[in-house]
Amino acid sequence: MNAGPHRVAIFVYDGVTLLDVAGPAEVFKEANRFGADYRIVLLSPTGADVTSNLGVRIAVDGAVSSEPAFDTLLVAGSDRYPRARVPADLADAARIPAAVAGRVASICTGAFVLAAAGVLDGKRATTHWQVAHELAARYPTCRVEPDAIYVRDGTTYTSAGVTAGIDLALALVEEDHGPDLARDVARALVVYMQRAGGQSQFSAPLQGPPPRSPALRKITDLVTANPRGDHSLGELAKHLNVSTRHLTRLFHDELSTTPARYVENIRFDMARALLDQGHTATQAATLAGFPSYESMRRVFARKLSISPAAYQRRFSTTRRANAG
């Protein structure tokens, strides 16, 4: 465990997303109950209080420029700045403290503020998947990874959608104090132990819009409700009394995928959840509907570049007692 207090500054401004502030702050505060010593302050560009995206006024501790270097600087996000350019004064306010902090991190669209301040030049980064393309287009020297929960590049961290700020904060706590304390915090907050940084931001049923046609929605609902079922192309086509070619065309036109790949994604998502719950890899493969453990292993290798067993060792929640 690290000795001495660890100073954490959360950079806020008008329009800031309230959960971007409260989620990580709660993780660090909870960590203090288990032996950590985080000193958390809220700072704004001028030292004036700010108003969040929900209209809630946030009292700050001072101006970011008036404080010494922090061990950790967190830059919260706002839904304003994917839609508009980050104001120069806001970017300037973040630039110097980010340069001198021990580590700097952004929550969700806070990446736009860091990028505008030049902090992400030449670095890998992520943000909410809905605006990742805008971050990449606006700041082409930043290597955006749109489907990651969080990304670390040296001492710079960026995270995805608002709740991913909790994942990132847990990862920072683990970096400072080890996995046991981080797991205690996750248990106390009743959240998952942090998800893999490279893990997909969203589960298969949430990728893209739902099917427009009731017929295809019937098939996707069937697969989602029972991933273990016989979902071969022929069997799925029988449910709608259509040809396999027609069903394949429906999936292509509406979901930009194939029936087989959709089924695979649903099973993959369920397998991850089962591993998180403490099931063995073999159990997860069976319960999720994979034909074999080997077929599940190949999917994990393709999507996450790790095996199911490695995923479980690194990223699962607390294990069930005597599982298996």
Q: How far apart are CA 249 and CA 257, in angstroms?
A: 9
CB 45 within 8 A of CB 110: no
Helix, strand, coil fractions of the chain, as percent rounded to 5? 45, 10, 40
Q: How far apart are CA 4 and CA 157, in angstroms?
A: 23
Helix (H, G, I), strand (E, B) or coil at 134: helix
Q: How far apart are CA 251 and CA 66, in angstroms?
A: 56
Q: How does DSSP assign 14-34, residue by residue?
A: TT--HHHHHHHHHHHHHHHHT
pLDDT at residue 317, rounded to an integer: 39
Left, alpha or beta for 210 (phi > 0: left; psi -120 to 50: alpha)?
Answer: beta
Q: Which pTM value belongs to this model?
A: 0.64
Q: How, if at all, do strands 57-58 and 150-153 pair?
A: unpaired
pLDDT at residue 162, rounded to an integer: 66
Q: How does DSSP assign 206-275, residue by residue?
A: GSSPPPSSHHHHHHHHHHHH-TTS---HHHHHHHHT--HHHHHHHHHHHHSS-HHHHHHHHHHHHHHHHH
Low-confidence ranges of the chain (pLDDT < 50): 1, 194-199, 201-202, 206, 316-324
CB 281 within 8 A of CB 324: no
pLDDT at residue 318, rounded to an integer: 34
pLDDT at residue 20, rounded to an integer: 94
142 has catalytic annotation: no
Sheet holding 156-159, edge to edge: 62-63, 38-44, 6-11, 72-75, 103-106, 156-159, 150-153
Q: Which of 8, 43, 108, 172 is catalytic?
A: 108
pLDDT at residue 212, rounded to an integer: 80
